[in-house]
Amino acid sequence: MKNFMVILVFIFSVFYLISSCSNAPSGPAGPTNTFTASPTITVTPTSTVTSTPDFYINAWVVNNEASGGEMKYEITFTKDSTPVPDATVIVTDTDAPSTHFPVFNGYLYDFYSYEGATYIHGHNYTTTIYYEGLTFTASALAPGSISVPADGLSATWVYDGSYERVWVQDVDDSYATTHIDQGDLTSPYDIPGSAYPTTGNFRIMITVQRTSAFTPDVGDIKTQNDNKFPITK
């Protein structure tokens, strides 16, 4: 009986120890490591945009043979719609190198006109413009050499253009138009008899024009021959 009691005490002692260990207070919680990923930053390089100047050139080599045959040279040259004050403009007749034209320099090229040179049909006239290190050039053949017979029923021109106009007017009827045709016409050109509805005085006016682009392409040069012929029916 004594031994039984000893064993019973021993069993209770073991259970007590086990119960004490399982109920022991826990220590302070350790630090929690939280990882946050760094944001991805995309850098877009900036670019410097330089605007390109807007140049415009319009040049004319015009000859009105009915008014004496002198050549008129006209030019408009602008940058960003503003007249250019200090460009150098050189006009040459490439088929007659000894022909001298004035060098246009220091003008406001918002319409500059020069008269005095001789227009020669079939010659090539070249305009070269120097400005701020840039060079603009264009060359165009001088068209025309127009003729009309006395009966007024045809018109011819030796040097073709890219645009022609044939215009007949009745002088006795306040210059009323009796016939007009324009576009890329072909020489010889037939003028219809209906252009002369009555007897009297008429006038034929003819324009032959050629256009060539500048290099770089910022405008063009036009060479033009005008003439007029009196016709009596």
- Per-residue confidence in pLDDT tens, the chain, 233 aa: 545 454 544 555 545 544 554 454 554 554 454 445 555 545 455 545 456 789 999 998 888 887 766 788 888 889 998 888 788 888 888 888 766 676 666 555 555 667 667 788 999 989 999 999 999 999 999 999 999 999 999 999 999 999 999 999 999 999 999 999 999 999 999 999 999 999 999 999 999 999 999 999 999 999 999 999 999 99
- 44 within domain boundaries: no
In a domain, 41, yes or no: no
Q: Give domain status of residue 112, yes or no.
A: yes
Angle 199-200-203 (CA atoms, 0-180°, nearest 5)? Answer: 120
Residue in this structure with the two tokens 């408009």, named with its chain if needed: 76
Question: Tokens 């260990």 — which residue?
Answer: 21
Are 194 and 180 in contact by the 8 Å Cβ rule? The answer is: no
pLDDT of residue 6: 46
Residue 49, burial from CB neighbour count under 10 angstroms (0-12, 13-18, 19+): exposed
16 membership: H or E segment, kind and range: helix 2-22
End-to-end CA distance of the chain: 168
Residue 85 Rama label (left phi>0; alpha psi -120 to 50; beta): alpha
Q: Which of 49, 36, 29, 66 is nearest to 148 (CA)?
A: 66
Which residue segment(s) compose the domain that 180 sits in?
55-232
Residue 185 lies in a domain: yes
Residue 193 inside a domain? The answer is yes
Which pLDDT value is given to residue 35?
A: 44
160 domain-assigned: yes
Strand pairing class (219-232; 55-64): parallel
Nearest CA-CA partner of 124 in 15, 27, 221: 221
Separation of alpha carbons 106 and 84, rounded Å: 9
In a domain, 123, yes or no: yes
pLDDT at 56: 93
Q: What is the pLDDT of residue 17?
A: 47
Within-domain flag for 16? no
pTM for this model (two decimals)? 0.72
| pLDDT score of 8 | 47
pLDDT at 24: 47
C-alpha radius of gyration, the chain, whole number: 47
Q: What is the DSSP letter of 10?
A: H
DSSP 8-state assignment for residue 37: P
pLDDT confidence of residue 11: 53
Q: How many domains does the chain have?
A: 1
pLDDT value of residue 186: 96
Closest CA to 129 of 62, 176, 77, 190: 77
